[in-house]
């Protein structure tokens, strides 16, 4: 029996929330999981996939194409059974938060999500969050009680991008506004164009197109 030797373990965290308040389906944006997952596994890392509630991850139907690639099919298979964050016992060397509008509803309210973020900041573990994934930062604090993002350079799904997809009114808050309110130095580029910010151990990507470069930036931090 062949024993696989991994370079390390990356924890990927996805949403458990599948419906907006108006009843419209939402969830994980598939690209923001499938692309990084493929990069991490091909780079030789073991990936543990977790979510606030565990079990099957709701995937935003708008992120699904008629002809799914083999990469996307593999991702959907993995997403059938995630680990509940509260039951996670494995050690890991880095964290990646995938986005999707579902994260706006459960990431900020979940204590286990905040605990993972706070541990990463405290231990200086590489942590990457893409698109709406930075919603995981909203409730996280440092030891002195200040917002974890205060004074940090970052990005995320912008107000103008939210307006472009016509979901401004459906969101519990606007991610860009919230992060700036908490003292972050927020930067952005043209709507839906790749944009990644690395500030120490923190990597953030603006939108789905930023998934690949954000994952690459996380791998670069791990290689250090």
Taking 80 as the threshold, does the pLDDT of residue 3 lie above it? no
The domain that holds 40 is classified in CATH as 3.40.50.880
Q: Which of 40, 51, 33, 36 is nearest to 6 (CA)?
A: 40
Taking 90 as the threshold, does the pLDDT of residue 66 lie above it? no
> Does residue 115 fall inside a structural domain?
yes
> Does residue 1 fall inside a structural domain?
no
Report whether 197 contacts 153 (CB < 8 A).
yes
- Indicate the average pLDDT of the chain: 97
- Chain centroid to Cα 172, Å, comes to 18
Give the model's confidence band at 20: pLDDT under 50 very low, under 70 low, under 90 confident, else very high. Answer: very high
> Does residue 4 fall inside a structural domain?
no
Q: Note down the domain range covering 164.
A: 9-223
Report whether 204 contacts 117 (CB < 8 A).
no
When pLDDT is averaged across residues 148-160 and rounded to a whole number, the result is 98
Q: What is the structure's pLDDT at 159? A: 98
> Does residue 40 fall inside a structural domain?
yes
Number of domains in the chain: 1
Q: What is the structure's pLDDT at 175? A: 98
When pLDDT is averaged across residues 202-206 and rounded to a whole number, the result is 99
Residues written for the chain: 224
Taking 70 as the threshold, does the pLDDT of residue 2 lie above it? no
Q: What is the structure's pLDDT at 141? A: 98
Q: What is the structure's pLDDT at 224? A: 84
> Does residue 123 fall inside a structural domain?
yes
> Does residue 2 fall inside a structural domain?
no
Give the model's confidence band at 4: pLDDT under 50 very low, under 70 low, under 90 confident, else very high. Answer: confident
Give the Cα separation of 190 and 157 in Å (integer). Answer: 11
């Amino acid at each position: 029996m062949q024993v696989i030797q991994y370079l390390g373990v990356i924890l990927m965290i996805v949403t458990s929330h599948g419906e907006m308040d108006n009843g419209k389906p939402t969830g994980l944006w598939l690209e923001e999981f499938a692309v990084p997952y493929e990069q991490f596994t091909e780079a030789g890392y073991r990936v543990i996939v977790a979510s606030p509630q565990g079990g099957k991850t709701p995937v935003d139907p708008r992120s699904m194409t008629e002809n799914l690639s083999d990469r996307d099919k593999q991702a959907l298979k993995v997403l059938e059974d995630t680990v509940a964050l509260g039951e996670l016992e494995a050690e890991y060397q880095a964290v990646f938060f995938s986005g999707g509008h579902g994260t706006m509803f459960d990431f900020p309210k979940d204590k286990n999500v905040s605990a993972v973020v706070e541990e990463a900041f405290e231990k200086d573990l590489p942590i990457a969050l893409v698109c709406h994934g930075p919603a995981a930062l909203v409730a996280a604090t440092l030891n002195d009680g200040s917002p974890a993002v205060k004074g940090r350079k970052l990005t995320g799904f912008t107000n103008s991008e939210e307006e472009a997809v016509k979901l401004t009114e459906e969101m519990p808050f606007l991610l860009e506004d919230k992060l700036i309110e908490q003292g972050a130095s927020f930067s952005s580029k043209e709507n839906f164009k790749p944009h990644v910010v690395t500030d120490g151990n923190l990597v953030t990507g603006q939108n789905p197109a930023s998934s690949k470069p954000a994952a690459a930036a996380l791998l670069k931090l791990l290689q250090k």
